[in-house]
Structure 1
Amino acid sequence: MLLFPEIDRKKTKKKVHALLKTYRSLVRIAGEKHSPKVTVAYTFEMKNANGEFSRKADKVVDRKYLAEVELAKIIEAINQLDTYDRQLLYYKYMDRNFTTNIAIYMKHHMSESKFYRELDKAMIRFAESYESGKLLSEK
């Protein structure tokens, strides 16, 4: 196995899109206390201090717990990216206001084509950082 195999960018971006488009739902399911705070540098911080999620003893794993775990994985991966990539992914997938692509690239003063190129790069970088490359698809 190669350390850096050739990546199928199209399949990888589909996986990232499928995961990140569920972000808003995951926040709603996990509850407001697990919704991360976004800092000025677009760093995501979980609200509970120890970084762990509480589980009651002998409790069956439920939807809320799974949403909390998935949010923690997404936030860990997002925080490994640079500020620019975090901003693009935040406005595209995580902002509560459902910002359109046009509004995003206008806000960042870039052309439509540049926006899509930069978003594609951010999605690939996210795939690399999510669980050590779990979302990457090889050719």
Structure 2
Amino acid sequence: MILFPEIDRKKTKKKVHELLSTYRSLLRIAGDKHVPKITAAYVFEVHPSTNKTGQRTEPIIDRKKLAANELTKIINAMNQLDRYDRQLLYDKYMDRHFTTNIALYMNYHMSESKFYRELDKAMIRFAESYESGELLIEK
């Protein structure tokens, strides 16, 4: 096994995009208690979960658990990134207020091409961090 195999960047970025695009839906499914608190350094802090089931049916509980588990994986991967990458990915995929790419690169005071290069690098780093590289696609 090669430690650093050649990565298919296009397919890897597509996989990351598909996963992070579901983040807002996962938050709604998991419920308010799973919404992470984001510090000034864009560090995600998760509230401790309680295992109370209440009067809910099993499919709803399973869906909520799956969503909460996926959120935990995403948050753990995000916290392994540097502040710049966390902020970029948060603004693009996780902020409750959807912002267009044009508004994002204007907010970051960078050209469109530089924004996409930086976003691509952040996505690859996220893929490396997520579950020890589970999202990486080898050539």
Q: Same fold (TM over 0.5)?
A: yes
Partner residue of 1:81? 81
Superimposed CA distance per residue, residues 35-83 of structure 1 (whole angstroms, 9 cap, x where no aligned partner): 00111001111022xxx56265xx6761001000000000000000000
Partner residue of 1:47? 47
**1:35 is aligned to 2:57:** no
Q: Which amino acid aligns with 1:109?
A: H
SS in 1 for 2:110: coil
Query: Is contact 1:53-1:68 (8 Å) kept?
Result: no
| 4+ long deviations beyond 2 Å | 52-56
SS in 2 for 1:40: coil
Partner residue of 1:135? 135
Distance between the aligned counterparts of 2:134 and 2:12, measured in 1? 10
Percent identical among aligned pairs is: 75
Distance between the aligned counterparts of 1:17 and 1:54, measured in 2? 31
Q: TM-score, normalised by structure 1?
A: 0.92
Q: What RMSD in Å do the two structures reach over aligned CA positions?
A: 1.4
Q: TM-score, normalised by structure 2?
A: 0.92
Deviation for aligned residue 1:103:
1.0
Partner residue of 1:94? 94
Q: Which amino acid aligns with 1:80?
A: Q
Aligned length: 134
Distance between the aligned counterparts of 1:44 and 1:110, measured in 2? 25
Q: 1:69 to 1:55 in 2, by over 3 A?
A: farther
Q: Which amino acid aligns with 2:82?
A: D
Instruction: Extract unaligned runs of 5+ from structure 1.
Output: none
